A and B are shown apart, each in its own frame.
Chain A
Amino acid sequence: MASVEKIIEFRDVSKSFGELQVLRNLDLHVNAGEKLALIGPSGSGKTTILRILMTLEDIDTGHVLIDQDYLWHQQVEGKLQPASDKHLHKMRENVGMVFQQFNLFPHLTAIGNIQQPQMLVQGKDKADAQAKGMDLLKMVGLEEKRDHYPHQLSGGQQQRVAIARALALEPKIMLFDEVTSALDPELVDEVLNVLRMLASDTDTTMLTVTHEMNFAREFADRVLFFDKGQIVEAGEPKEIFSRPQEPRTQDFLKKYIAGIA
């Protein structure tokens, strides 16, 4: 954690969907190994940040860098040009993502879901991919479910397999997009426990969009409060949650405590 190397940089990034501007001149630095929680009302742009990093959305203006390299641009003869598919493919190696709706491949078993990307993307042979897959299934407590198809698993179990699948490719940056929002309340903790364990055990940089404030408080090194496409307030969890400075943050947290947000 001593490293101060910037692994993610947003420089003056803006993004609109039609009329709706979801990011306004955003500047953001993330240090390698940092655990970040992104909170704020729906539609505030926090999920868009993850989707831009995963190359699921492009940007309108500004620059995004991962590990000192442009994500949506590339240098061609000294000039910055829009990134080619090849460049994006290379950059994606750095990033893994877990989705709100899990998005496991329904035609593959739990182990198959973890095994296939390693074989296709990293060219591993089946035995290696399977060994790594079993280690990860053990880690998320699902080794006995290895041959179950997604529809035979609970939502919480599916999400744990999805986390294992993303981890198997060993990305430097892991993105978690409201990973418990689609779960029944009693299944939330089994997923959050995996994230807690990852946060304390790995050097992986982690960005989490979440509505679970208690979780954000213990998980994150830094909390960013978003509203209307901008970072309104950022700081250590105890500052943000105990002494929020900005009225919008205070308002949001008040509503959250009242159970509205």
Chain B
Amino acid sequence: MDSIIEYSPILIKGTITTIQLTLASAVLALTISFIVGLARFSRHRSVRAAAICYLEFFRGTSAIVQMFFMYYVLPLMGVHFSPLTAGILACGCNLGSYGSEVVRGAIQSVSRGQHEAALALNYTTYQRYRYVLIPQAIPVMIPTFSNLLIELMKLTAVASLITISDLTFMAQIIRVQTALTLEPFLVILVIYFIIATLLVQFTKLVERKFSKGRQVVSDGGR
């Protein structure tokens, strides 16, 4: 165990990289989730079709292969990304496809009566989504987004395969240099678990903020 402590600086560095990768991918995934999820409600068929293509492509292919594609294949076409950028793009695009389904489902769960009330009050389509449907859909989205965030954090471990020096990558280095196997992996398991716990606490905080004073599902008031 002493040698692990000796390597703690690179474990800390790896932890920071994992957190950076997770947060940056999460921001990207969230943005994509809303864009692609809302595009499913577009009145233009081409926009809806593009959203479905995106969803099926990124959900239907392996995240590791997507990452390899961005890091190894795209440079052959003249597009160069740093390992970190490729990792963020792959993780963000992949999780964004799942997230878009969360957004779509949550908005669809808002009752028809809410659509009709907004229309009767002469809201524009934009106002209807911005001020009526999305605010009611967000509390519905949060628990599922919370799960996806954990999934995303765990997915970032794959990024070590494209030479990003995250936690998993650092554990490999320690293993090679010290010939220890149990210790480095046990330590990073614990670190991953701690990060996941912190993320869950964070999403609970967000959930509480959004559900303040609200009842998510209208019961018709009987």
- Hey, which bits of chain A sit against chain B, CB under 8 A? 54-56, 89, 92-93, 95-97, 99, 101-107, 109, 116-117, 120-121, 149-151, 153-155, 158-159, 165-166, 169, 182-184
Q: How far apart sit A233 and B116, CA to CA, in the bound complex (Å)?
A: 30
A102: B residues at CB distance < 8 A:
220-221
A105: B residues at CB distance < 8 A:
114, 117, 132, 136
B61: A residues at CB distance < 8 A:
none
* Residue from the list B117, B131, B136, B216 in contact with A120, Cβ < 8 A: B131
Pair A116/B116 contact, Cβ less than 8 Å: no
Q: Interface digits, B121-139 against A, CB 8 Å rule (1 contact, 0 not)?
A: 1111001000110011000
- Hey, which bits of chain B sit against chain A, CB under 8 A? 111, 113-114, 116-117, 119-124, 127, 131-132, 135-136, 213-216, 218-222
Pair A169/B117 contact, Cβ less than 8 Å: no
Which of B111, B136, B218, B219 has the largest number of chain A CB atoms within 10 A?
A: B218
Q: How far apart sit A93 and B124, CA to CA, in the bound complex (Å)?
A: 12
Pair B136/A107 contact, Cβ less than 8 Å: yes
Q: How far apart sit A117 and B123, CA to CA, in the bound complex (Å)?
A: 7
Q: How far apart sit A184 and B222, CA to CA, in the bound complex (Å)?
A: 7
Give 4 nearest A-B pairs by CB, closest first.
A103-B117, A151-B215, A103-B113, A155-B221
Pair A107/B135 contact, Cβ less than 8 Å: yes
Q: How far apart sit A97 and B216, CA to CA, in the bound complex (Å)?
A: 24
A-B contact pairs, 6 of them (CB 8 A): A92-B120, A93-B122, A101-B113, A105-B136, A155-B221, A183-B222
* Known contacts A102-B221, A106-B215, A155-B220; 6 further A-B pairs (Cβ under 8 A): A56-B120, A102-B220, A103-B113, A103-B114, A106-B218, A121-B121
Given contacts A105-B132, A107-B135, A155-B222, contact A56 B122 (CB under 8 A): no
Pair A149/B121 contact, Cβ less than 8 Å: no
Pair B131/A103 contact, Cβ less than 8 Å: no
Pair B123/A153 contact, Cβ less than 8 Å: no
* Residue from the list B122, B214, B219 in contact with A121, Cβ < 8 A: B122
B127: A residues at CB distance < 8 A:
120-121
In whole Å, how far is A204's beta carbon from the nearest beta carbon of chain B? 15
Q: How far apart sit A76 and B222, CA to CA, in the bound complex (Å)?
A: 47
Nearest residue in B to A106 (C-beta to C-beta)? B218
B113: A residues at CB distance < 8 A:
99, 101, 103
B214: A residues at CB distance < 8 A:
106-107, 149, 151
Pair B221/A149 contact, Cβ less than 8 Å: no
In whole Å, how far is A154's beta carbon from the nearest beta carbon of chain B? 7
Given contacts A120-B123, A149-B213, A153-B221, contact A99 B135 (CB under 8 A): no
Which of B117, B120, B123 has the largest number of chain A CB atoms within 10 A?
A: B120
Pair A151/B219 contact, Cβ less than 8 Å: yes
A159: B residues at CB distance < 8 A:
221
A54: B residues at CB distance < 8 A:
116, 119-120
Given contacts A103-B113, A150-B221, contact A165 B136 (CB under 8 A): no
Pair B218/A56 contact, Cβ less than 8 Å: no
Given contacts A92-B122, A103-B113, A121-B121, contact A151 B218 (CB under 8 A): yes
B131: A residues at CB distance < 8 A:
116, 120
Nearest residue in B to A102 (C-beta to C-beta)? B221
Given contacts A89-B124, A93-B122, A107-B136, contact A101 B220 (CB under 8 A): yes
Given contacts A151-B215, A154-B221, contact A121 B123 (CB under 8 A): yes
In whole Å, how far is B42's beta carbon from the nearest beta carbon of chain A? 14
